């Protein structure tokens, strides 16, 4: 059931699909969510405990809980690092970073604008 719930949040995650197939989980048991984040917290812990930057964290509580980059920190730290991307089992983190990056750039489309 846990795998089925995780697949509802991240239906295109290869690691979750492999586990679902291995354990016979039904990927269509729950309605699909649009977040694709399974809220594992690997990125949050890595950034806080290993990198000591706190550039990514949880916001809200309960069913509204989400992962978000802190734009002021991410603009300077994440462009150089991106180590947490490899930890994400769903690739949600990369999409969230691109969104944060576009908000920080405020219309400047050059990828080097974050380095200023």
Averaged pLDDT, 36-40? 85
Confidence grade of residue 106 (pLDDT, cut at 50, 70, 90): low
CA distance 39 to 105: 26
Radius of gyration of the chain (CA): 16
Averaged pLDDT, 28-54? 88
Query: How do residues 74-94 score in pLDDT, each as one tens digit?
Result: 888 988 899 999 998 888 888
Any idea which architecture 36-115 has in CATH? 2-Layer Sandwich (3.30)
**Per-domain residue ranges of the chain:** 1-34, 36-115
| Residue 82 near residue 97 (C-beta atoms within 8 A) | yes
CA distance 4 to 90: 14
pLDDT score of 113: 43
> Is pLDDT larger for residue 42 or for residue 104?
42
Q: pLDDT over 70 for what percent of the chain? A: 86
pLDDT score of 49: 97
- Of 25-34, 53-62, 81-90, 99-108, the range with the lowest mean pLDDT is 99-108
Query: How do residues 43-63 score in pLDDT, each as one tens digit?
Result: 999 999 999 999 999 999 877
């Amino acid at each position: 059931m846990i795998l089925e719930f995780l697949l509802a949040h991240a239906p295109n995650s290869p690691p979750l699909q492999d586990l679902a197939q291995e354990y016979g989980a039904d990927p269509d048991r729950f309605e699909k969510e649009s977040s694709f984040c399974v809220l594992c917290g690997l990125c949050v812990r890595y950034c806080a405990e290993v990198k000591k930057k706190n550039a990514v964290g949880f916001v809200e509580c309960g069913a509204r809980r989400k992962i978000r980059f802190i734009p002021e920190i991410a603009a300077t730290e994440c462009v150089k690092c991106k180590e947490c991307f490899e930890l994400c089992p769903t690739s949600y983190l990369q999409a969230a970073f691109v969104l944060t990056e576009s908000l920080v750039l405020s219309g400047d489309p050059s990828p080097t604008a974050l380095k200023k």
